[in-house]
A and B are shown apart, each in its own frame.
Chain A
Amino acid sequence: KQEVTQIPAALSVPEGENLVLNCSFTDSAIYNLQWFRQDPGKGLTSLLLIQSSQREQTSGRLNASLDKSSGRSTLYIAASQPGDSATYLCAVRYNFNKFYFGSGTKLNVKP
């Protein structure tokens, strides 16, 4: 069974700090990996999609990397802001049918 793990479950940092969120998966035969942001009581907003052939993707202050051989992806957030406070979820797609989600990392950026 494919499993996706996110560490840490929660993270609190002061504003301005650079931070890294981790996502690991048990089966390396992925099609792609997607990072999402979820605000309380809301749906998921897509942040970055990395195809299996790519090593990283960047969008503004966000950079996501993918290492299939080790079963890991990281989301790097530069110069964090209070508005970045949310839960961040990674989802791994193994075929055209299903996504497998981690439990998320709840981020709190303190002013």
Chain B
Amino acid sequence: DGGITQSPKYLFRKEGQNVTLSCEQNLNHDAMYWYRQDPGQGLRLIYYSQIVNDFQKGDIAEGYSVSREKKESFPLTVTSAQKNPTAFYLCASSETQGMNTEAFFGQGTRLTVV
């Protein structure tokens, strides 16, 4: 069953901790993305990767880090430098070739600072 799997569904972070959100896809897509969603706002791009071992900052990359060591995996680390990390995090993937490049999303991880 093809798709994108995000884990965990809920995550709690103490002040000063780093936490890592998992994103795995079996769609054989080259591109993967991380978005942040806050109540009443649209999705904002954190990082994206077009190919293994390469990634670029999005619009709100400060306080976050990523890696892309395998095509199917794109984990996001929320570091202690991120001052307001409580949000809903969404991972997506898509093809990079051609015009018909539909994006697919995971079910999200809700991160709460306690």
Contacts and interface: CB of A to CB of B under 8 A. Distances in A.
B31 interface: yes
A57 B92 CA distance: 22
A97 B110 contact: no
Interface string B21-52: 00000000001010100001111010010100
A23 to B, nearest CB: 11
B80 interface: no
Contacts of A4: 42
Contacts of B90: 43-44
Tell which of B35, B41, B103 has the most Cβ of chain A within 10 Å. B103
Interface string A49-92: 10111000000000000000000000000000000000001010
Contact of B106 (A43, A46, A49): A43
B58 interface: yes
Contacts, number: 66
Interface string B85-114: 000101010001101111111111010000
B33 A99 contact: yes
Given A41-B110, A42-B107, A43-B107, A101 B101 contact: no
How many residues of B sit at the interface, in one of the four size bands?
20 to 34
B17 interface: no
A97 B93 CA distance: 11
Contact of B101 (A32, A42, A104): A32
Given A46-B104, A89-B43, A32 B56 contact: no
A65 B87 CA distance: 32
Interface of B: 6, 31, 33, 35, 40-43, 45, 48, 50, 56, 58, 88, 90, 92, 96-97, 99-108, 110
